[in-house]
Amino acid sequence: MNLKILYEDKDVIVTVKPRGISSQSSNSFEEDMVSLLKKHMGKDAYVGVIHRLDKPVYGIMVYGKNKKATEILSNELRKKNIEKTYEALVDGLPESDEGELTDFIKKLDNNVSKVVEKSTTGAKEAVLKYKVLESYKKDDRYITRLRINLITGRHHQIRLQCASHGFPLYGDHKYNKRLANVKTDEDKVLSLAAVNLSFKHPKTGMELNYKINADF
């Protein structure tokens, strides 16, 4: 598999993760982003994982090419200085054209998360902002395209929050309950893509910004 490289220098590499590929090294025999990047850069290359995308999600990622760059960018991520924008196709229509969702999420043992009370042991605050880009009615329901900015980065956050607020993602077999009974053409893939990534270069401090189009 040939990776799409958006930018590369001695410190960082910005690439597009395809659907079905893990963001970091996995224990299976399947290819993952780290092994694919090492094929591109050399088998002994340093690949520092800074952030993650779920396996079925498509989109832009940045990796560090040395320990120092990775540490700096990881710290920037913790301080919420790395901006990530997503687009999603959802089943339904939010009450307002733009807004902010705040919930408390707990990750469970079976690779799913759930919305819980704030006082629940292990609960973490999850915040995102969304904006409706377009919406149209098909049969008896609305199909809506959203732009989403993550304020926090929790396990399955976008998928879970959208579903819990009444507009689950198309193709999301974990959280879209409709798929248990009926599937549509839009449900062939998980309709979530990381379309924009902005961060400061760890060495030069230059603001870098990369965009792609959602593939759904």
Three-state secondary structure call for residue 31: coil
**What pLDDT was estimated at residue 78?**
94
**What pLDDT was estimated at residue 139?**
82
C-alpha distances (whole Å) from 206 to each of 28, 71, 114, 200, 203 are 37, 17, 38, 5, 8
- Ordered by start, the domain boundaries in the chain are 4-81, 85-192
**Cα–Cα distance measured from residue 84 to residue 167, given in angstroms and rounded to the nearest whole number:** 21
**What pLDDT was estimated at residue 132?**
98
Please list, residue by residue across 106-127, b when 16 or more beta carbons sit within 10 angstroms of its beta carbon and e when fewer do: bbeeeeebbbbeeeeeebbebe
**What pLDDT was estimated at residue 25?**
85
Of 7, 66, 85, 40, nearest in space to 202 by CA: 66
* DSSP-H helix ranges across the chain: 33-41, 67-78, 157-164
**What pLDDT was estimated at residue 200?**
98
85-192: CATH number: 3.30.2350.10
Instruction: Give me the residues of the chain with pLDDT under 50, please.
Output: none
**Cα–Cα distance measured from residue 6 to residue 212, given in angstroms and rounded to the nearest whole number:** 10
Q: State in words which class domain 4-81 has.
A: alpha beta
Per-residue pLDDT reduced to its tens digit, 70-106: 999 999 999 999 999 999 999 999 999 999 999 999 9
**Cα–Cα distance measured from residue 157 to residue 128, given in angstroms and rounded to the nearest whole number:** 9
**What pLDDT was estimated at residue 190?**
97
Q: 4-81 and 85-192: same fold?
A: yes
